[in-house]
Structure 1
Amino acid sequence: MNQELNKFEKLLFGTTLSQISNLIEDEEAKEYFGYNFQTEKLNFKFR
């Protein structure tokens, strides 16, 4: 379980953050990542 969470964290905070910074000029991508990234983070914290 812990190893799975660590993999997920690395994907979420490594890959996704770099993708967001690459796509931030795209309004649709900014809206999608801004909203979903925050809610995923909250869901992850409170699980």
Structure 2
Amino acid sequence: MIKKVLTWLGIAFLIFFIAFNPRSAAAVFESLGGTIADIARGFGTFFTDLVA
């Protein structure tokens, strides 16, 4: 029950954040995407060097 309520509160906060601060929200998601891409690139390099 609490998990469901917290999930809905998180979604509501996300919608509120995007609606009232779209530029800040875009910057946060851009940064998050860049971080995920860097991690994936690091794993790719690791496995390439491991096999080669």
Task: Tell me the TM-score range normalised by the shorter chain.
Answer: 0.3 to 0.5
Using CA pairs under 8 Å that are at least 6 residues apart, name the structure with larger relative contact order, 1 or 2: 1
Give the alignment's TM-score, normalised by structure 2.
Answer: 0.39
Greater share of residues in helix? 2
For normalisation by structure 1, the TM-score amounts to 0.41
Task: Report the structure number with the largest CA radius of gyration.
Answer: 2
